[in-house]
Amino acid sequence: MEILILAVVIALVAVGMISGLVVSSRKKKQLPPSAPSSTPTITAPPAEPQVGEDAAPTAEEPRRTIEEVTLPDTAAATDSPVAVEDPVVEAPAAPEIEVPEPTAGRLIRLRARLARSQNSLGKGLLTLLSREHLDEDTWEEIEETLLIADVGVVPTQELVDRLRARVKVLGTRTPADLRALLKEELLTLVGTDFDRAVKTESGVDTPAVVMVVGVNGTGKTTTTGKLARVLVADGRSVVLGAADTFRAAAADQLQTWGDRVGARTVRGPEGGDPASIAFDAVKEGIAEGADVVLIDTAGRLHTKTGLMDELGKVKRVVEKHGPLDEILLVLDATTGQNGLTQARVFAEVVDITGIVLTKLDGTAKGGIVVAVQRALGVPVKLVGLGEGPDDLAPFEPEAFVDALIGD
């Protein structure tokens, strides 16, 4: 009899263990790529940031994985037949996923907003060039208009020289002639040869990794969120890395952006190690076969060395997975010369590959596009034209210049 009872107990334990294993593996497979924020895999911070000052994590280091994070559930399921039933049914309902606006032609759709804020530059230039007598005072006013719009001293001089030369041979100056001439010259100044595509194509098995840097307050986190929407709108899958652990609300803010379009956000504790989070984000991107990993970073300009240490470390650690595809610098267009100085510091710290100019809707200083490209030698790739979720547009020189000059 005792032997019989023992056999039944052993059999029950064995059945329990096998169901546990089955549940564990089912759970892993069924983990939705766009799991809601309350799922611990997304929000649970790593037990401890694992990147030491000098000892960055390697792929071999023990870390919390999706499997490990779900283990407590599995253990409970092994003990309780109720929990074994169907873990998927118990999962919280997925949040409603938004469908972002398509990105093609976005700048044209936002042109009215851009044109409104840039009125004084384009319209001012046209009005001045249309004067009957283009005397020295007028040319000085043209120069001033360009300088006030933050075009920068050297590019302003170049443009004025070219305009002077071309107006001279023009003879009669019809408004249409002047508009065409100004458009052509402004386009040359802004540059039509740059490759302005954000690089989001990577290896077959690995996601493209884009790091977003810039001084806090420039719109970095917002831009990272908007960029995730741009990518999702274009059919790409995205993982977000909330490596701005300095600003208290940054991770929540980023996660809200991610949740809205079904992009997973990897985050850590406030004040945690940004490099560790960035590393985990890329690891997660690889694990779930994402197309792109976007990493938001902190932009404290406390000291150049401090910034260099922090961003340099994030970059180094991320590159243990493979090279970075893009480092985007976010710059607030309203900050003028100050913004340019910041841009130069960042460019010394990391190799910027593209510029995102935010808040162009709130300034008439669109000339900063020209100045910052000259200062860093890299193109403006995206522009922010408002606080709305889809107010980020690929930068198109022609649409931009059209907006400057107006119809």
Which of the stretches 8-16, 69-77, 133-141, 382-390 binds ligand GDP when contact is defined by CB under 6 A? Answer: 382-390
Which of the stretches 31-39, 100-108, 213-221, 306-314 binds ligand GDP when contact is defined by CB under 6 A? Answer: 213-221
The nearest distance, CB 27 to ligand GDP, in angstroms, is 34
| Residue 111 sits in the site that holds ligand GDP (CB under 6 A) | no
| Residue 220 sits in the site that holds ligand GDP (CB under 6 A) | yes
Task: Give 208's strand partners.
Answer: 292
Binds ligand GDP (CB under 6 A): choice among 39, 117, 218, 255? 218
Q: Which is nearer to ligand GDP, 56 or 293 (CB)?
A: 293
Q: How many chain residues are in contact with ligand GDP, going by CB under 6 A? A: 19
CB-based contacts of 359: which residues, under 8 Å, 6+ apart? 219, 332, 333, 334, 384
| Residue 87 sits in the site that holds ligand GDP (CB under 6 A) | no
Binds ligand GDP (CB under 6 A): choice among 78, 145, 206, 221? 221
Residue whose tokens read 């890395």: 241
Residue nearest to ligand GDP (CB): 384
Binds ligand GDP (CB under 6 A): choice among 102, 175, 217, 323? 217
Cα–Cα nearest to 373, from 404, 393, 395, 399? 395
Cα–Cα nearest to 314, from 303, 302, 327? 327
Which of the stretches 34-42, 169-177, 219-227, 396-404 binds ligand GDP when contact is defined by CB under 6 A? Answer: 219-227
Q: Which is nearer to ligand GDP, 220 or 229 (CB)?
A: 220
Which of the stretches 39-47, 199-207, 315-323, 379-387 binds ligand GDP when contact is defined by CB under 6 A? Answer: 379-387
| Residue 386 sits in the site that holds ligand GDP (CB under 6 A) | yes
The nearest distance, CB 395 to ligand GDP, in angstroms, is 12
Which residues in 19-48 contact ligand GDP (CB under 6 A)?
A: none
Q: Which is nearer to ligand GDP, 371 or 385 (CB)?
A: 385
Which residues in 355-374 contact ligand GDP (CB under 6 A)?
A: 358-359, 361-362
| Residue 406 sits in the site that holds ligand GDP (CB under 6 A) | no
The nearest distance, CB 77 to ligand GDP, in angstroms, is 40
Which of the stretches 60-68, 263-271, 343-351, 378-386 binds ligand GDP when contact is defined by CB under 6 A? Answer: 378-386
Which of the stretches 13-21, 103-111, 179-187, 381-389 binds ligand GDP when contact is defined by CB under 6 A? Answer: 381-389
Q: Which is nearer to ligand GDP, 70 or 218 (CB)?
A: 218
| Order of all β-strands in the sheet with 264-266 | 264-266, 238-243, 292-297, 208-213, 326-332, 354-358, 380-384, 392-394
| Residue 112 sits in the site that holds ligand GDP (CB under 6 A) | no
Handedness of CA 51, 218, 257, 232 (dihedral sign): negative
| Residue 384 sits in the site that holds ligand GDP (CB under 6 A) | yes
The nearest distance, CB 38 to ligand GDP, in angstroms, is 23
Q: Where along the sequence are the contacts to ligand GDP (CB under 6 A)?
A: 214, 216-222, 247, 250, 358-359, 361-362, 384-387, 391
